[in-house]
Structure 1
């Protein structure tokens, strides 16, 4: 799975970032990409800037897709809820029923319309 692979790569990345920060004389808390861009020479800084822009674009696209997925899931849940309510509604009470019978009992319906 992609998430498991990302977790494995993150475990490999963390020690490398700490080692790189120590080699550049940076504090261990300053391991953001922008901090490395500021400490790198111009050629590497340019490459890191391109990578940062690509990464920002990808994360923005993922955020938009997540919002779309959220709306689609909510729409599906609303549709399912509506259908469940339609299927489980009781029918309107009859105006005319035979004497001695309760109209409510005759018209009550459920998803499983059976007798035990």
Structure 2
């Protein structure tokens, strides 16, 4: 069936895109650690472009699902796994089905890796923001006490001058 070949090709292209996203997301980790905001912005833009392209492949895959379901007279499947079950029931070559199932498993694995890396990056960004907030609080503290020692060695407590940075990010 031509539609099954098209499905396999679309899934392979989608897998390659997810692998590219995984590389970008992994590269983000080093950029976040080094605090290179400009590079992070560039990586994020590339990632958004790939995600947009992946949305197009999702539509193509859905159209292929419709074609296959019409060709084998089944209700349109909601997932690739469901489609594979229907194709197996219809006696489609198991080598083809195994190839598609392998791509599906690879996709799930790459998506899982992306999720894990994204969780790590989220934690790193949160730590960076917490550190920045702590520094801002220290810089903007208005209740800091200053000790002045006079000629009689007494302590005089006065409020420090307001900081130029009287705000919190």
Deviation at 1:83, TM superposition (A): 0.9
CA distance in 1, matches of 2:165, 2:129: 22
Counterpart of 2:128 in structure 1 is 76
Matched, 1:13 2:66: no
Asked whether the equivalents of residues 37 and 45 of structure 1 are also in contact (C-alpha less than 8 Å), the reply is yes
Which of structures 1 and 2 has the bigger CA Rg? 1
Q: Provide TM-score, normalisation by structure 1.
A: 0.77
Looking at both structures, which has the greater relative contact order when contacts are Cα pairs under 8 Å and sequence separation is at least 6?
2
Provide the TM-score with structure 2 as the length reference: 0.55
Moved over 6 A (4+): none
Distance 1:2 1:52 in 2: 19
Instruction: Judging by fraction of residues, say which structure has more helix.
Output: 2
Aligned partner of 2:116 in structure 1 is: 64
Q: Does 1:48 align with 2:70?
A: no
Which moves more between the two structures, 14-23 or 77-86?
Answer: 14-23
**Corresponding residue for residue 156 of structure 2:** 96
Which shifted more, 33-42 or 65-74? 33-42
Give the conservation status (yes or no) of the 8 Å contact 2:141–2:163. Answer: yes
How many residue pairs get aligned? The number is 105
Unpaired segments ≥5 residues, structure 1: 98-102
Cα shift at 1:58: 0.5
